[in-house]
Amino acid sequence: MSQDAILLEVRGLSVTFPGRLGPVQAATNVSFDLRSGEILGIVGESGSGKSVTVRAILRLVPPPGRIASGEVLFDGRDLLSLNAKEMIRVRGCQIGMVFQNALNALNPVRTIGDQLVEVLRVKRQASASEATESAIELLHQVGISPPRQRMKSYPHHLSGGMRQRVMIALAIAGRPLIMIGDEPTTALDVTVQLQILTLLARLQRELKMSIILVSHDLDVVQEVCDRLVVMYAGHILECGATEEVLSHPRHPYTEALLRSVPKISESAGRGRFQTIGGQPPELDQLPPGCPFQPRCRYARNICDEAPMTLDRPISRHGTACVVEWSGNAG
């Protein structure tokens, strides 16, 4: 598979939840590609739909939410049309997932060794002794030492960073082609956060995986991601190579978000932060067209009719903004 081969195609994905005034769209017409061997970042604030989007890929949208429409094409098949049994094989074996809160995701009354061995026996059909050896190897791979002794630890024996390493070991146990991390470093201290991000980048290279990293933190995604998808109120507003999106944002929201991130600089502490103003919208009270327009300083009348699709092919640096402003001229 060549470097730029497309591994996963998400097309027109919409997820709805029942609301007081009818269904609420948590993700609306979301389309993006994941290329082979890349780390793709999905970034957005709370309520942007980033989490629900990646959960939909694995059909893990919590009820009463449901996938209303769309396709998730992987390996020539639409994951949304698979039956439950086939889907179980996809989860873990082809697409692994790491969640934010490892303490909730791990079984508190079983050792991490047991939990790894179980996954290995199911997903790799390994014998008990093979699985034990592989589990030790996996713990070593994710930087847990000494791995043999740690097999006997329970989740509560481990620090937050170590638990997240165990989660990653579980996610890669089935040798997946894709790993999805949903805010995997959000609950961690900065020094541990960087260790985990570095681990993800190293595993991606060693195992030739692709990774989707979901985060609310622009600084975190730019640390390791090749490309970024920026989401707001369930819509993709911008998508492109990390450096291009950060140096030349083409959507006013991305520009505003970048300005409001505090930075350590020589002039720090003397100025004020630029703010976006207003509130993130309620999903059941979205304006027509572009959901960002009530807070946007470039908003015009045409924003009401914005189709909310990217203006360029999905492989390039696209924006959903229809206004010609300094970042989006010509």
Partner 1 sequence: MPVDQDEILALKGLVKTYRLGGGFFGRNARSAARVVALDGVSLQVHECESMGIVGESGSGKSTIARTIVRLIEPDEGTVEFRGRDLFSLSTHDAKVTTRRIQMIYQDPYSSLNPLLSVGSAIVEPARVHGFVDRRGADEEARRLLDRVHLPARAAEKRPRELSGGQRQRVSIARALAARPEVLIADEAVSALDVSIQAEILNLFADIKEELALTLIFIAHQLSVVANVAERVAVMYLGRIVEIGPTQEMFFRSAHPYTLGLLDAQPGRHRKDRTQEPALTGEVPSAVDIPSGCRFRTRCAFAEPICEAVDPPPVLVSQEHYSWCHVLPRKGTVDSRQDIASSEPSSIRLESQESWLA
Q: Which residues of this protein are in contact with partner 1, per CB under 8 A?
A: 45-46, 159, 161-162, 189-195, 197-198, 201-202, 205, 216-220, 222-224, 256-257, 260-266, 268-269, 271-277, 279-280
Name the minimum Å distance from CB 259 to partner 1: 8
User: How far apart, in whole angstroms, are the C-alpha atoms of residue 252 and residue 275?
Assistant: 12
Name the minimum Å distance from CB 215 to partner 1: 9
Name the minimum Å distance from CB 317 to partner 1: 18
Which CB, 20 or 273, lies closer to partner 1? 273
- 262-265 contacts at long range (C-beta below 8 A, 24 or more positions apart): none
Name the minimum Å distance from CB 159 to partner 1: 5
Name the minimum Å distance from CB 146 to partner 1: 14
Residue 27: closest CA among 318, 308, 322, 324: 308
Which CB, 280 or 287, lies closer to partner 1? 280
Which CB, 132 or 204, lies closer to partner 1? 204
Name the minimum Å distance from CB 275 to partner 1: 5
Which CB, 132 or 141, lies closer to partner 1? 141
Which CB, 29 or 195, lies closer to partner 1? 195
Which CB, 21 or 273, lies closer to partner 1? 273
